[in-house]
Structures are given as structure tokens and as C-alpha cells.
Amino acid sequence: MTFKKTTIVGQSFPRVESNAKVTGAAQYVDDMQFGPNLLHGRLKRSTVPHALIKRIDTSKAKALPGVRVVVTGQDYPGLTGLYLSDRPTFAVDRVRFVGEPVAGVAADTPELAELACELIEVEYEALPGVFDPEYGAGAEAPLLHPDLMDYAGAPFIFRQPGTNISNWFKVRKGDMEAGWAEAAHIYEHTYRVPHVQHVPLETHAAVAQVDGNGKITLWSASQSPFAQRNLIAKSLDISHSKLRVITPYVGGGFGAKAGVSMEGACVIMALNAKGRPVKLVMSRAEEFYTTFVRQGLVAKIKMGMAADGRITAMQNTYYWDGGAYTEYGVNITRAAGYSSTGPYFVPNVHADSLCVYTNHPIGGAMRGFGMPEIHWAIEQHIDRMAEQLTLDPVQVRLLNCLKEGQETVTGMPMHATGLSQCIAKAAEALDWGQPSRPAAPGKRRGKGIAAMWKAPAMPPNPGSASTIRFNEDGTCLVNIGGVDMGQGTLTIAAQLAAEGLGIPIEDVRVNTVDTDYSPYEWQTVASRLTWSMGNAILRAAEEAKTQIIQMVAEVWGEDPQDLDIIDGHVVSYATEESVPLKNIVVYGMQKPDGTWAGGPVVGKGRFMPTYVTPLDAETGQGPRAVVHFTTGAQAAEVEIDEETGEIQVLKLVSAYDVGKAINPDMVKTQMEGGAVQGLSTALLESIILRNGQPMNPSFTDYRIATTVDAPVEMESIIVEVPQDDGPYGARGIGEPAMVPTAPAIANAVRAAVGVEIDSMPITSEKVWAGMRAQNRG
């Protein structure tokens, strides 16, 4: 396996724990930090997908020696949710998915906690289930949330009363009849995407403890420390000042650890543990289906295309399988709505994106936030139409892709973008149009391409803050609320601070997150930290730098405009005098008259976008739907065995417009990691659910890509068209890197053997069956 460039940065070393007896190093860590009073939490979970809870008997569990806490939903009925407060910490009157917590236990050992859960008796009255989102959206489906309209929710989430539709985002643009009339060819088809798991190496883990003053501390492997504090505090109706969240390095997240999943249960058990800390760690099986999963999707695409390849009209319907609770999934549905055409100029659009309650695991954020799913459909559809019109799929994309100033699907003028460059460069790197010879007889090769776009999916006003404090020796501490989970947050923060201050990066230290001391950060999601947090850091650096320069200017009697900070020294362009930052950034400087100027230097910065506008509920139109889009393309070459259908990805090229690559090595590493994760979901991954029951919650039956499955060759191409509101022009790349991988591979498979794959994953069995069907035909 060869790479154009591979650099490992920002690596963290996750704790790997289970609910088995903790021994050795793990036990030592527990004893050192929390002492022998540490209690072990365990959750009693539903075994049925949908039922009323008729009775919960916890008496046997409470009577078991060594069991210290037993709690149920009757004790804490509060609801939580980031965009829609629809989920209880423990089920109260009914369960809605297999694995939903119905009770929590904390005991002296993991084994006792497990035994106590087994002793809790729950009597259910089975209810009809919903296991398909298209059916769930219909009038005949049983209602899973009769109180939907009573839930608190964001104003941009459009619930439908008397249905299972928790959000319906609509786009109505242009004249559909005119668009269909202009088309030389109209094609419609249905595509499907299954649920998948994030499978971070570190499963969800938390420890909570209440001190003598009633202050709760939660140590959590979280992407959202401040959001967790907010959501848990509101669900328990306590002051935010009473809850502290500490997040160290996180062993992978990919969206799984955004928001709240099991952390609220840990806090509730700690509230009843009389000051003893409670530890709750998800087993690998629990991680697969009881925390967030990527939502399933049924996508119906209808497209009209002129003879020259221009897209004249598009009608898309997305049925999102949001699962039992859609508090996060409703915003994925929204993002799919305002991105519903893909990165193309389409004058006539009719789109519906519906988030539907089902009795499946909870759909939440995952890398790409709905974009890998809708691009799976859109990008295959474009390829098929190009072939039907005997057009080159690359040229069709270049013709239709959004250019600066063109209207997006919501009517927003597209900002400057390098999308055309990305498509052209990806195709060129794959020698598009040139045949490639198979490695051996019985093999066939094909090339495919897919384009993408993705905006940071978030509310209109998510904020970031940063502070910078200097030490006596001229080094500085940068405080942020962003989380490092291996993607390099701390590295980027240090780079931006060093550049903004004019000091060596070696003199910068960045702290991890503690909500009592760290400045606010909305969440570490949406590929937004380099952009949003980065702006806050630069503003903090500018404030600190201004304090230093004004102090030196006062002492030297110079114009501040003639001063700068270079390599940790204040220098004068007028007199060529210089002074190191050491000491003066804390103690100040003595003036010629013997008095002093300055004092401890502390810079503060904040950033919040103020320019995003609401969208019309019926048309989806508005001046500015999002802050910006990251755009790009991937091209893939595959080789397929005619006898077995086995797929080998020979080369995968990624080209993205990142605005400005603050750290080019890290950008390329994100491209490579995203491409491999995209390949994994494309070829291997699917949570198998039968009537709501998960059938493969283990690495034995749920495969993910390893180095053996990675492409033989990978190439990453950076395109830089600056973003007007980004730090030095930068925008995010972490999530976009896996968006177009699956359709690019699917298009390559189709080019190689003519087999069309409508549903992920693209397995060798499906390819083999498709080839055999062709032979029979």
C-alpha cells in the first residue's frame, strides 16, 4: 500500500474498557483518581422495540448487598434533546427501541451491577412497531410520540401534528412543469442507505460525582461538554452552575459523542450515591445500538436533463429513519433539505426531507451529517443519466456544478468556490478517459467520480470563545472549549495562536476542556472548529498583542503602528530596537520616569456568525441558509473479480477546497482518513435490524475497514479558494472528506461491470448477483 503523503498528527490514546472485572492498569487508574469508593454503573435495557411499561419491580436489586443505587424513569421524568426535547433519560411509560434504558444501577463491582440489572423485573404490553420510515410517515402507521407537539423544540424544526414526522423540510423553487418540459430525458429511481455505527475505539465512558455542596462533576468522553452541561442541567431542572463537565482527550467520536446519550444516566446515579463517584462505560455491544447510530435513508430521486447535460429540474424525497428519538436527527433532515440538490445549480426544485420516528436505534450525528447519504443517491443518479444521454459524467458535473454567484437550492448566492477545480483535478489524477489494464484475466476495471458539498449544520448562532494568558517566561496558555479527539484541535489552536501573537509555536500550550474554567464552545461538530474557534483565537491573540504593543509604545514613546511581535520579541521598524516578551507580559515595563506601564496580559476573543437568515417553512427559500459550504470531489478506480464479485479499490483521489490549509499535513490526513471511513461504509458496514432487534452488534459480524481494505494508492489534492469569514480564509474538511466516497466507488463498479447498486453496502455478493443477472439476460 502506497500513499502520496501520510502524516499522523493529533493522535490520542483511548482507554478501552468493558463491564467485565477491572484489573491491572485500569483498576490502578480508577483507584488513583477516584479511590476505592468508586461505584460501577449499569443500565437495565428494554428487550422489546415498542411497548407500554406496565410494571417495574426493583425490590430484588435493591436488596442485593453491595448495590448502592437503583433509579428509574419515574424518579427522573425530565426530557432532553438538542433540537427537540423528546427523549427521557430512562423510559417512563413506554419503551421505543431495543436497548432503551429503563433503570440504572450503581454497585460496588461491575459484576454486582450486572446481577442487579438482571434482578429488575419489567412487565411490558407489546405495541405495534414502525420499522420503515416511508411507512412510518404514512397515516396508517401507529403514533410513536403522541405528545410530539408538546415537546420543546427549535423554531426551525417543523413538526407535523398527528404523525410520526418530527421535521419536514420543504423546498419549492422555480417552475417544475417548465423544468420537466425542457428536459430531453427524465429518470427517477429509489436508493437506500442502512444504519451504520461510528465504532470509535473508545466506547462511551463517564464518571460523575456530587460533592458536599451539591456540585456535580461529570468526567465525560464527549464532543459537546458545554452542550452536555446545558442539556443535562435543563432535564434535571438544576442550575448550570451546579454541573461541571471535564473532557480529557477523547478516543474517537465521529459524531457519536456529540450531545447526550448515556451521560445523563451517570449523573442521575451519582445524585443518589451519597457522594461516591459512579462510573458508567458502554460495552462494545451497547455501543453498537444503544448510543447514536447514523440514520437510515430512503431517497427517491427524479431528475430532468437537457440533451447537453444541463439539469433542468429535480424532485427529491428523503425519508429519514430517525429512530425512537429524533432530538438530533431533525437537524440532519434539515441539512439534507437545504443541500438537497447536491452541489449543482438547478433552477427548478421540489424537495421534501422528512425525519420519521421508528422503533429503531436513535439516529444522531455522524461524520458527514446526512451528506454521505443523500450524495449516495444524487451522484449515482447523475452518472446513470449521463450514460443514458451518452455524456461524460465529468463534463456533466463541470457543466452543472455551482459557480460563484449562482443561486443554491435555497436561493442563497454561492460564495467563491473551487468546486470546478476539485472535479477537474480529481479526474486528471485518475487519468480520466484513459483505459486501465486489469492485473489478470477474469478481472475488470472501472473508474468513477462523485462531487460533494457540505455546510456546517448548526443553529444560526453557535458561538466560540477563547482566552490567552501569558506566563512570566513569555510562553502562553490558550484556553478553548473545543475537544481534541484525534483530529488535531489542539494543534490547530496552537498554530493559530502562535501566528496571531507572533511567537514560536513551541511557546504555546493549549488546555483541554473544563466547563468551569474553559471559555464557551457550542460543540466539536460540523467541521467548524478551525473556522469558528479559529476566529475566536485570532481575536484573542489580537487583543493580547494590542495590549503588549501599546505598553511598549508608551514606554518607548513610539507609534504603535511601527511595532510588531516577531519570534517572541517586540520589534520597532522605526528604531530597530527589540525586547523579549519574557517578564514584560506579566510585570509590565518601567517608563523613563520610573513609573510602570502594562500588567498581566490576557486576551479574550469570541466569534458568532450573525448573518444566517431564517428560511421560509413552505418554500425553503431565504437570503443565507448557512455560513458557507466546503466543496470537493473524489475519484476511484476499482478492479472486480468476475468469478466472485470481489471489489478492490486500487486508487482513491480526493480533491477539496479548504479555503486555506492551516496545516497541510493534517488536511491531507483528514482526507485520507475520511476516504477510508467512506470506503468502509461503502463496502462493508450495515447494522442489521429485524423488527427492531439488532443482529450484528459485534466486530465478529459487523466489519469495518482496516489497512488491508484501504486503497492501494491514495492521493490528496488541496484546493484553496479563501473563505471570506474564515481565519486566513480557512474552512473545515473533517466531515466532507468522506461524503462522496461511496457513490464514487459505486460509479466505478458500474463502469467496470455494468452493475447498479441501489443500496449500501456494495458487497461482492451484490456485484456477483448483478453480473449473473446480466448473463441470464
10 torsion bin: left (phi>0), alpha (psi -120 to 50), beta (else) = left
Which of 381, 408, 409 lies closest to 396 in space, CA to CA? 381
Q: Cα 653 vs. chain centroid, distance in angstroms? A: 22
Say if residues 650 and 639 touch (Cβ distance below 8 Å): yes
Q: What is the 3-state secondary structure (H, E, C) of 552-607?
A: HHHHHCCCHHHEEEECCEEEECCCCCEEECCCHHHHCEECCCCCEECCCCEEEEEE
Which of 716, 734, 718, 729 lies closest to 659 in space, CA to CA? 729
Number of Cβ within 10 Å of residue 189's Cβ equals: 16
Is 30 strand, coil or helix? helix
Q: Cα 32 vs. chain centroid, distance in angstroms? A: 33
Distance CA 720, CA 635 (A): 19
Residue given cell 419536514 in the structure block: 168
The amino acid present at 432, given as its one-letter code, is W
Number of Cβ within 10 Å of residue 410's Cβ equals: 24
The helices-and-strands tally (H runs, E runs) of the chain is 18, 34
User: Which ranges in 684-717 belong to alpha helices (H)?
Assistant: none
Distance CA 692, CA 333 (A): 21
Distance CA 634, CA 452 (A): 9
- Tell me if residue 111 is catalytic: no
Q: Give ∠ CA 713-719-725 in degrees, rounded to 5.
A: 140
Q: Which residues, other chains included, contact 385 with Cβ-Cβ below 8 Å and sequence gap of 6+?
A: 185, 187, 303, 305, 396
Q: Which residues, other chains included, contact 462 with Cβ-Cβ below 8 Å and sequence gap of 6+?
A: 522, 523, 528, 532, 608, 609
Active site residues: 735
